[in-house]
Structure 1
């Protein structure tokens, strides 16, 4: 009896011996799902097994808001030209939350840009051509499922004043909002999330009404930690041509027996004009290089000579090796009205030089 009394005392003071549970984690589990686990207690009285007892607890998984924005596409900044329109950069927006969310999108010029980008538009590339088309623009992503990734593109215009090597960046920010309703739902941020703040076990039901929202996002480029948003930066670097042009002239024949280099600039003399266009070292290739020269009324174009293009330079002047270009154009106006010469040179790579030369008569 004494031994039995001691055993009973041990049972009444300890009361539980074995737990048939293992850790349960809510990470990755969908918000609103219920997690139920049961504890079981086996015991003996007087050395004899007794009926086990158990208890069950149910919780509802809370909503964990997490997201990222990351630049994709080209590594580093995208090369652009001055005056380029609709230059495109690319981001991936990922919903790391354990619930479906709406994601509001904003794109702005980053602080410290060398120039200001204009006409910034966010779009989803519906036809897959990598370019912005009217009707593709978005201001938010609707009903993005957990682990959903959406490729978002941003297009912007580069000013003509941008110069070689200058950079400008765009910050794209995604902000989590509640899903389920038409359009963009209520914002999730530190000042707007609600809930009872406990483990959802007070009534043992894990009812959906007890779901809390927890902001678990990291800090992005311009936003803070745990604010329901994430931001990333991508941008552009200007690769420009570095063209210079010089114009020279020499008197070929003055009409009274004088020829170059002794001819004089008198009425009736023939003047040859040499235009030299050069591109700088390390510059981008210049295309569509068009030369237009409006002559003063004191000169009359010599349309019998021609317009010679894509020649070289010798001793600082146009060499006589250009091509007489049938596609170049003389505008031979009436006396007293300026004549005009137009010609298009070949593309000019870095360090390349090309020429255009023609002749006119002094009135």
Structure 2
């Protein structure tokens, strides 16, 4: 189901109440007057054992879509699993990356248990889920569970992927009130609670990707005021860099070699209309004798940068 359905459609869990397996004992008594003597008679003791309630809830713990890049490995989705029952219960976990109606499916997923309880996925610390030894949740206990997904390289900017986590009581699930005789804590019965002893919720990946478009134009002005491409004419090259998509590109560096049969015009580099120096210094540009380099750093999608420099035809 979708996240909204799981949050608003699932029955609410309540406090576990009296622990499963707790004996409830009661003995009645009667008294009467027998010739001036008060006689007390006790009934037999009736002992009832509190049955175990099976209630499991799953909730996505992410504040919204988790951004990921095409080809990213181990992108983390976070969920909580709560035992709303009144006895310890193993929780069987299943992840499903193949939800119909979304834009793409992760190439692979794996499930991890938050071993140190800090709510963050810690490689090398948190435990890979083993279905043969599912985590045992105490009554009213909540644990954090992570699904790690490998994002396909073909995933495109703004695409979304839905991944669900299902948790089910190992003792059994079904319609509320279903009884599993003798399978509860302390040999009592286990009774399915309001959640049906199983629940599911979804997390979502959102692809955030940026690309760089680079175009180059040339304008010629000759020494006679015309545009002839003759020796002595000045060529102004303009490089237009545009970041597209929705992400951020890191460490963007633009280089351009000085063409043969031309001579670079010293200190002619401009970036977005601001003059740059040729030496390596605090500004973003430099000239090394054979070409120019302009370092743009981190560039967010939607940013346009314009670089210009000049050469003279030999």
2:155 maps to 1:195? no
Q: Structure 2 vs 1, CA of residues 285 and 217 (structure 1 numbering), >3 Å: closer, same or farther?
A: same
Report the secondary structure of 2:135's partner residue. Answer: strand
Match of 1:353 in 2: 304
Residue 81 of structure 1, CA deviation: 4.0
2:249 maps to 1:286? yes
- Aligned partners of 1:133 and 1:354: how far apart in 2? 39
- Aligned partners of 1:242 and 1:323: how far apart in 2? 28
Q: Which has the higher contact order (CA 8 A, sep 6+)?
A: 2
Report the secondary structure of 1:57's partner residue. Answer: strand
TM-score by length of 1: 0.61
Structure with bigger gyration radius: 1
Match of 1:157 in 2: 150
Match of 1:214 in 2: 191
Residue 241 of structure 1, CA deviation: 3.8
Residue 330 of structure 1, CA deviation: 6.8
TM-score by length of 2: 0.69
Match of 2:90 in 1: 102
- Aligned partners of 1:138 and 1:276: how far apart in 2? 48
Match of 2:137 in 1: 144
- Aligned partners of 2:40 and 2:265: how far apart in 1? 117
For the 8 Å contact 1:64–1:216, the answer to whether it is kept is yes
For the 8 Å contact 1:309–1:345, the answer to whether it is kept is no
Q: Which runs of 5+ in 1 are unaligned?
A: 1-26, 178-186, 201-206, 219-225, 313-318, 333-339
2:199 maps to 1:230? yes
Residue 62 of structure 1, CA deviation: 2.2
Given the alignment, which residue of 39, 56, 60 partners 1:67?
A: 56
Q: Structure 2 vs 1, CA of residues 231 and 354 (structure 1 numbering), >3 Å: closer, same or farther?
A: same
Match of 1:29 in 2: 18
Q: Structure 2 vs 1, CA of residues 270 and 30 (structure 1 numbering), >3 Å: closer, same or farther?
A: same
For the 8 Å contact 1:306–1:358, the answer to whether it is kept is no
2:239 maps to 1:275? yes
1:1-363 to structure 2, matched below 5 A, reads 28-41=17-30, 51-72=40-61, 74-109=62-97, 110-126=99-115, 130-134=120-124, 136-140=126-130, 141-177=134-170, 188-190=172-174, 194-195=180-181, 208-209=186-187, 211-218=188-195, 226=196, 228-241=197-210, 243-251=212-220, 261-264=226-229, 271-279=235-243, 283-291=246-254, 299-300=259-260, 304-305=264-265, 311-312=271-272, 319=273, 321-322=275-276, 324=278, 326=280, 343-349=294-300, 351-358=302-309
Q: How many pairs does the alignment contain?
A: 288
Q: Which runs of 5+ in 2 are unaligned?
A: 1-15
- Aligned partners of 1:120 and 1:44: how far apart in 2? 77
- Aligned partners of 1:251 and 1:56: how far apart in 2? 108
